[in-house]
Structures are given as C-alpha cells and as structure tokens.
Amino acid sequence: MPFLTSAIAYVSGVPEPTLRLLVTLGLAYPIARVYNQMYIRGKGPVVSAATVTERNLFILLAGLALALFFSGSSIYHSLLTVCASYGFLYLNERFMPNNRFYGAAAVWGFNAVYLLAGYYITATDDYDVTWTMPQCILCLRLMGFGFDYYDGATSIVKVEGPEPTKKAEETTDHTTTLRPTEQTKPPNQLPLSFALDTPLASLPDFSQVLAYCYFPSAFLVGPQFSFSLYRRWLASSPLQEGSAVAQEEAEKDQMRYVFRCLGLAVVYLAIQQGVGGNYPTSYLLTDEFASLCFLRRIWIFIITGKFVYNKYIGVWMLTEGACAYFGISYDGEDSRGNRLFGGLANALPAIYETATSIDHIIGSFNINTNLWVKYYVFKRLRFLGNKQLSQFGALGFLAIWHGFHINYFTTFFCEFAVTHCEAVLRKRLLPCVQTYTSKNALALAAWKVVAWVTCNVALHYCVIQFDLLKLSKAWVAYKNVYFVGHIILFAIFALDAFVLKRPVRTPKEKVK
C-alpha cells in the first residue's frame, strides 16, 4: 500500500518500496510485544490446546495484516500458492496415503513454476521490490514443507513427546519423526531451524500451515525454518519456567539480544544510506569511472562490492531481532546460564567482518537459506556420486531461485570457482607458511591480515555482477578494471594444474 508510505519516502529521500519494506519489518516488533503481553509474560510454562489455537490465530492475523500492508492486492499470489500447495498434499493424503512422492513433487513443481513466471512477468533491468520478494521466501518454505511431509513417510524412527533441539530440550504435544540421515549426529550439532524432527508424520491443520507461512517476522525476507520448529514454539513457553527471578532474568537476556540486533541493523542501514549511496554499481559503468587511475578504480570497485553485501546484513539483523522478541529463536542456555536467542540468525556480523576464508563467509551470511539448500537440495543430490557435482547443483538451484538474469548464474559459478581456488592456495601455501606462523605471533597476525584482505577482495569483486543483473553491464564494469580478478583466478588454476604439478615418482629399479 504505497499511499501509506509515499509521503514519508518523499520527505526522507528513501525510495518508497524500500521504505515500505523497512516499515513492514519494523512493525513486527510491536506485534511481538503484544504477543508476549497476551500469551507469554506471567502465563506459566504449561500451554493448553486452546492457548495454542489462540496463539496460532494471533500469528495468522498479524502476518496476513503485514503481508497486506506490504503487497496490497498482490497478496493473492501468496494465498493462492499456500492453498494450492496444501491442496496437493491433502489430496495425496486422501487418495494415496502410502505414497507421498506425488504430493511433494507437485508442491515443488507448482511453486517453482509460479515463482519463475512471476520473475518473468515482473522482470526489469533493476531490482524491484514487488510481490516476488516475499514469494521467493514462501517458495522455499513450501518446498521444504513438502519435503518434510514426504520424509514423514520414509523415516524409520518415531518418537513421542520431548525432542532435543540444538542446546535445550523442549516438550511438544505432537507425534513427530526423525530424519534417518540424522540418526548418528549428536543433537548439539543440529541447527535450530532444521533440527532432526522436521519430518511430518501427518499433514498438519491448514490454519497452522498458513500462520507458519505468514509468520510476521519471517515471511518477507526470511529466515527459513521448519514447520516443526513453529509448532514446538506454539506449544511451549520455556522462558516462563523456574522462579519469578529466573523468568525476569530470561526476559532481560531476551531484550538485550533484541536491542543488540536492532542496534546493529540501524548501524548497517545507516551506513548503507549515508555512505553506500555514494558507491552505486551503476557508477562502474560510467566514463568518469573509466578515466580514473587503475588503483583508484580497483579501490572503488571493491568498496562498491562491499556495500552490495552490506544492505542484506542490515535487513537480516532487523528480522533477527523481531524473531528473538517473539521467542521463536530461543536456543537454550550457555554454560553460564545465559539464555541464547541466536537460533535463527541469518548473519553473524562479527564473523563476516573478520572472515579470512570463503568458508567463513558462507557460514556467516544468509545462514538459514544455506542450511535450507544443504538439507533439501545438496544432500538429496548424493545420487550423483560426486560432492562437487552436488555443490554445483545446489548453487545452480540458488541461482535460478533468484531469477532468470544470467548474472545470478555467473555469480554463483564465480563463488564455486573462488572456493576451489582458495582450496588450491591453502594446499600450496599453508605447508610453507605454517613453518613461520607456528613459531612467530607477528607472522601469524600478518598472515591473517593477508588472508582477510584476499578473502574480502575476492568476495566483493565477484558480487558486483550479481547487482548489475545484465551480462552486458557486468562486462563493462569488469572491462574497466581489465578483468584483473578473472585473470588472477585463471592464472592460479593454470599454475596449479600445469606449472606446479608435481611429477609422479616411480620406484627405482633394483640394481642387480
């Protein structure tokens, strides 16, 4: 509903779609406060079935209201896909209860086609904040839900009652199943968003599925999490356990985490608005940029790539704070008894900003989407018999999930190539470097600085094409810096494969 935010956008200078996005995310905070006052604070740890129903209805109505505010009449797209997806699974349950493959396949196929059709119809040469933004989040959520329904029929072990999560045990009032592939993995290694009980023994009520899809702090930009986590959260109040003093301390821990996330979000978004606006990727296509000296072009190129990532972290921190306020990201206690609320963190700024490896970046950026792809795509491609092929397939899925622009595919291919290039460098350099870093703290610090610079330069160099969308635009931008990153990448692979290739030693013949 642009008419509600257009005046503020005009005064502030922030584009109206962007402002509407931020306002929608911000409104999740007062909704979370009302939810806590109505259903959590002072209510005790025991949750009745009637209360579960009331909680679910509150989440459903609040989520629909926010979706209507953001999308307006375009909300029918998400409503249609949720209803159709549930309908496929319901028909499967009704007529083919012993074979859930067809229902899950229909959910995947329908949501993929609908999202890609939306991309095709609404595509422009720039990023547009339209109904396809929450739709891409919903697409993964429904696909995962379809697989969870499918896995519920193929899982071997069934359990009743309490299920271990990442760092704490919570009680549930439903029957669930365990992933066969997770039977030997310790519970403390499992992520909160997709724990070992995600398979669904039976099809849940439609009202709960609808509320799950429209969760107020997660329907727009994530994070992704399983339906089982949502159902556990509805039926529990772990922060109300213990004495009044313990409950008060739990609330303080929660609010500290909420304000931490909110503060980081404000910092990132303020820097993005105040500084990042001076480094648009469009500037890399101009004659003015091309006329600068080479080193200055490289510096601006890398800084521009930095701000492409920066905006995502700010938005994710905003949603993480709201999830923590609802309490759905509660992740047990640490060794000192402090309550943890980072179970649905989608970004880890401290790790991201100090990363010295691409693996650190992958583990600290868009975390829950990466986990989703790991559980629902990468692991299910094991039939290919090759880990690299599975990784390539998962990256291909991520690329098409973003849309049809060719630069999505080239970006993820670059990520694939850079990851393997880093492995080559680690194999070649670490044996030599460790001789010095293991004995000298200054040498170790210098090596970490070099690794940090290299990691960030490679990452920000590659992401420029993601923001430019069109291959022709990316070509101009990279040509203005002489494709220096591509040349270095190619040179490293060539040196490893041909010049530095170690000869195969053959046993010497015995002298008679």
Mean pLDDT of 115-123: 90
By residue count, the chain amounts to 512
Q: Please classify residue 269 by burial: count the beta carbons closer than 10 Å to its beta carbon, then call 0-12 exposed, 13-18 middle and 19+ buried.
A: buried
pLDDT for 188 equals: 40
Residue 469 backbone class (left: φ over 0; alpha: ψ -120 to 50; beta: rest)? left
Q: Which of 30-34, 190-194, 271-275 is the least confident region?
A: 190-194
What CA dihedral angle connects 353, 359, 365 and 366, to 10 degrees?
180
Compute the CA torsion angle 72, 76, 78, 80 (nearest 10 deg).
Answer: 170
Which tens digits make up the pLDDT trace of 303-312? 999 999 898 9
d(CA 146, CA 101): 9
* Cis amide leading into 223 (omega within 30): yes
Tell me, what's the pLDDT at 197? Answer: 84
Query: Helix, strand, or coil here: 176?
Result: strand
Q: Which structure tokens are listed for 213?
A: 């899809």
Res. 508 pLDDT band, cuts 50 70 90: low
Token look-up 């179970």 returns 343
**DSSP codes, 158-173:** EEES-EE-SS-EE--S
pTM as predicted = 0.88
d(CA 341, CA 338): 10
User: What distance in Å separates the CA atoms of residue 162 and residue 124, rounded to the nearest whole number?
Assistant: 49
Largest Cα span, the chain? 95
User: Which of 366, 360, 491, 351 has its CA nearest to residue 424?
Assistant: 491
Question: How far apart, in Å, are the Cα atoms of 404 and each of 117, 169, 512?
Answer: 10, 43, 69
Enumerate helices (H) and strands (E) in the chain, giving the number of each: 19, 4
Residues with Cβ < 8 Å from 329, sequence gap 6 or more? Answer: 192, 320, 323, 341, 342, 343, 344, 345
Alpha-carbon distance 345 to 192, whole Å?
10
Q: Look at 51-60, 121-130, 184-193, 206-215 and tell me which has the smallest mean pLDDT.
A: 184-193
Only one residue has tokens 């490293």, namely 492
Determine the Cα angle at 44 with ends 39 and 47, to 5°: 65
Q: Which helix (H) or strand (E) holds 235?
A: none
Average pLDDT over residues 381-395: 88
pLDDT tens-digit series, residues 135-189? 999 999 999 999 999 998 875 334 333 343 444 333 333 444 445 444 444 434 4
CA 213-214-220 angle, 5° bins: 100
Q: Where are the domains of the chain?
A: 2-242, 350-500
Give yes or no for residue 380 having a pLDDT over 60: yes
Choose between 214 and 97: higher pLDDT.
214
Q: pLDDT tens across 466-493, in order?
A: 999 899 999 999 999 999 999 999 999 8
Amino acid letter for position 36: N
Select from 223, 243, 318, 219 the least CA-distant residue to 44.
243
pLDDT for res 82: 97
β-bridge pairing 175-177 and 158-160: antiparallel
